[in-house]
Amino acid sequence: MRRRPALKSGDYRRVVDLATAAYVEMIRRKPELVQGAAQLQTIMFFPRLGAHIQLSSDSQPEIIYDREKFIFSEAVTYYEFVVDYMIHVGL
């Protein structure tokens, strides 16, 4: 059986998981994104459509899920936000 990408197959939770994991990895690679004024854009502008990012006491990002299921438009929003932001910061 051929594997289909998560978005095409309707696995919207998986799309959100992959997008948020990529975003967290970006923050780990560029810790300056969560320092000073850059933190506002990095954390506060992240979509809050059932999952959000918060920083632990040692400034490590973590994903907090408010629910388990996502719909197509939410998954696409997370995906597009992360791709656009990664391009913006040069990754």
Domain residue ranges in the chain: 11-88
The residues near 43 (Cβ < 8 Å, ≥ 6 apart) are: 34, 53, 54, 55, 61
- pTM recorded for the entire structure: 0.84
- 50 pLDDT above the threshold of 70: yes
Whether 4 shows a pLDDT value over 70: the answer reads no
Tokens of 80: 């597009």
pLDDT at residue number 3: 47
Confidence of residue 91 (pLDDT cuts 50, 70, 90): confident
- Alpha-carbon distance of 66 to 85, in angstroms, equals 23
- Mind giving me the DSSP string for 27-74? HHH-GGGGSTTHHIIIIITS--SSEEEEE-TTS-EEEEES-S---HHH
